């Protein structure tokens, strides 16, 4: 891909998605776009560039482009200490979810193909077994329509569920009748607890009216510049109740940000005002 084409793609990706695209990412971007170029029977990435930028930003081809340039790596029970912290420290400290109170509300922001919100739904359902009257709801958002469509099906390959304990598999996962297919599906009861929606963290207004008791925002801001991280975190904090918890990825630092939160555990923060 020519330097000019890369610069044009890279500026768009950073401006519209917040994702940093330095020159070292040129080969990676090139290989991701190459497949789409071939599907469209175009003969070069420059041709693809002209084709794309001639279309309005509302066209499906742009949605496809966004699906290609986001990195969606995720897992069931990724960074598992956070789930222990949630049930052992966060939930007991909050009023929501208690009998007579309103349900515990959680936002999984940057949910990818659903492994993280379904892990949370399993963990919270287990908590409900031992805490009668507890109830919860989960909002899960991402910008990629490809991962959201996958997440809504609740279907995964069997090898992906290695981190899920045998007990949880029995209670919340269904095996395909045809064992040879090697797939599982999240149970309907669990799927019902998660609402999926499309949201771009670069939007001026997220349009999310609810206040959440916890927000999981893990392994997303690692792709953003410091200024973008500050802007997005400020907005997420506005949707977090005072006393509520913000979970970041283990490799993401919140040092040096001006936010109404204090650190309470590894990459876990509590809103203080
Ligand atoms: C690496 S995945 C992390 C998934 C999950 N949170 C986890 O920790 O396993 C990052 C996700 O952030 C999403 N993402 C990236 N930029 C975004 C943006 N501007 N708005 C919304 N989601 C975005 C990507 O589509 C991707 O699915």
pLDDT in tens, 230-254: 999 999 999 999 999 999 999 999 9
pLDDT of residue 97: 81
Q: How far is the CA of 153 from the centre of ligand 1 (A)?
A: 18
Can you state the angle between helices 3-17 and 26-39, rounded to 10 degrees?
Answer: 90
Asked if the model's pLDDT at residue 95 lies above 90, the reply is no
Asked if the model's pLDDT at residue 81 lies above 90, the reply is yes
Asked if the model's pLDDT at residue 114 lies above 90, the reply is yes
Residues 6+ apart with CB under 8 A from 233: 217, 221, 246, 254, 257, 259
Q: How far is the CA of 220 from the centre of ligand 1 (A)?
A: 5
- CB pairs under 8 A, 24+ apart, for 6-11? 6/30, 8/49, 8/53, 9/33, 9/49, 9/69
pLDDT of residue 61: 97
For 81-153+188-271, which CATH class?
alpha beta
pLDDT of residue 113: 98
Give the predicted TM-score (pTM) of the model: 0.96
**Taking the CA of residue 210 as centre, how many other CA atoms within 13 Å lie in the half-sphere pointing to its CB?**
14
Residues 6+ apart with CB under 8 A from 261: 237, 246, 254, 269, 270, 271, 272
pLDDT of residue 98: 80
Asked if the model's pLDDT at residue 99 lies above 90, the reply is no
Asked if the model's pLDDT at residue 227 lies above 90, the reply is yes
Best mutation site among 32, 107, 111, 142 for ligand 1, i.e. most ligand atoms within 8 A of its Cβ? Answer: 142
**DSSP of 60-124:** HHHHHHHHHHS-----TT-STHHHHHIIIIIHHH-STTSTTSPPEEEEEES-TTTHHHHHHHHHH
Q: Which residue, by CA, sits nearest to atom 20 of ligand 1? A: 200
Digit-coded pLDDT (tens) for 38-65: 999 999 999 999 999 999 999 999 999 9
% of the chain with per-residue pLDDT over 90? 94
Choose the catalytic residue: 32, 146, 152, 185: 32
User: What is the atom index within ligand 1 of the atom nearest the CA of 110?
Assistant: 12
Other CB atoms within a 10 A radius of the CB of residue 96 amount to 21
Spatial distance between the Cα atoms of 162 and 77, rounded to a whole number of angstroms = 10
Digit-coded pLDDT (tens) for 214-225: 999 999 999 999
Choice between 184 and 181, residue whose per-residue pLDDT is larger:
184
Q: What is the CA radius of gyration of the chain?
A: 20
Sorting pLDDT into bands at 50, 70 and 90, what band is 179?
A: confident
pLDDT of residue 80: 98
Residues with CB under 6 A from ligand 1: 17-19, 70-74, 78, 110, 112, 116, 142-144, 147, 199-202, 218-220, 249
Among residues 228, 266, 221, the alpha carbon closest in space to that of 245 is found at 266
Spatial distance between the Cα atoms of 45 and 103, rounded to a whole number of angstroms = 50
Segment holding 188, helix H or strand E: helix 188-192
CATH number for the domain running over 3-69 = 1.10.155.10
pLDDT of residue 16: 96
Spatial distance between the Cα atoms of 3 and 225, rounded to a whole number of angstroms = 22
pLDDT of residue 48: 96
Asked if the model's pLDDT at residue 180 lies above 90, the reply is no
Mean pLDDT of the chain: 96
pLDDT of residue 139: 98
Q: Is 170 a catalytic residue?
A: no
Q: How far is the CA of 217 from the centre of ligand 1 (A)?
A: 9
Other CB atoms within a 10 A radius of the CB of residue 41 amount to 7
Q: How far is the CA of 110 from the centre of ligand 1 (A)?
A: 4
Q: Where are the domains of the chain?
A: 3-69, 81-153+188-271
Q: Are 116 and 216 within 8 A, CB to CB?
A: yes
Q: How far is the CA of 166 from the centre of ligand 1 (A)?
A: 28
User: Two tokens at 174?
Assistant: 């269904």
Can you state the angle between helices 3-17 and 45-53, rounded to 10 degrees?
Answer: 40
Q: Which residue, by CA, sits nearest to atom 3 of ligand 1? A: 219
User: Two tokens at 220?
Assistant: 């997303």
* Residue 58 backbone class (left: φ over 0; alpha: ψ -120 to 50; beta: rest): alpha
Q: Is 7 a catalytic residue?
A: no
């Amino acid at each position: 891909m020519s330097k000019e084409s890369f610069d044009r793609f890279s500026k768009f990706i950073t401006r519209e998605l917040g994702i940093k695209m330095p020159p070292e990412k040129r080969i990676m971007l090139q290989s991701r776009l190459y497949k789409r170029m071939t599907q469209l029977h175009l003969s070069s990435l420059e041709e693809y560039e002209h084709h794309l930028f001639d279309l309005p930003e509302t066209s499906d081809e742009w949605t496809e482009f966004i699906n290609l340039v986001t990195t969606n790596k995720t897992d069931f029970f990724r960074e598992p200490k956070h789930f222990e912290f949630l049930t052992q420290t966060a939930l007991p400290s909050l009023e929501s979810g208690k009998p007579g109170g309103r349900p515990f509300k959680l936002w999984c922001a940057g949910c990818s193909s659903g492994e993280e919100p379904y892990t949370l739904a399993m963990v919270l359902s287990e908590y409900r077994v031992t805490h009668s009257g507890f109830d919860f709801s989960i909002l899960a958002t991402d910008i990629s329509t490809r991962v959201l469509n996958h997440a809504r099906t609740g279907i995964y390959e069997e090898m992906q569920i290695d981190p899920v304990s045998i007990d949880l598999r029995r209670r919340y996962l269904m095996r395909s009748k045809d064992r040879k297919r090697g797939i599982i599906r999240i149970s309907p009861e669990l799927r019902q607890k998660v609402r999926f929606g499309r949201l771009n963290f670069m939007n001026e207004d997220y349009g999310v009216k609810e206040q959440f008791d916890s927000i999981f925002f893990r392994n997303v801001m690692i792709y953003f510049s410091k200024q973008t991280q500050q802007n997005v975190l400020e907005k997420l904090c506005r949707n977090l109740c005072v006393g509520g918890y913000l979970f970041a990825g283990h490799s993401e630092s919140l040092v040096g940000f001006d936010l109404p939160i204090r650190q309470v555990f590894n990459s876990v923060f509590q809103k203080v005002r």
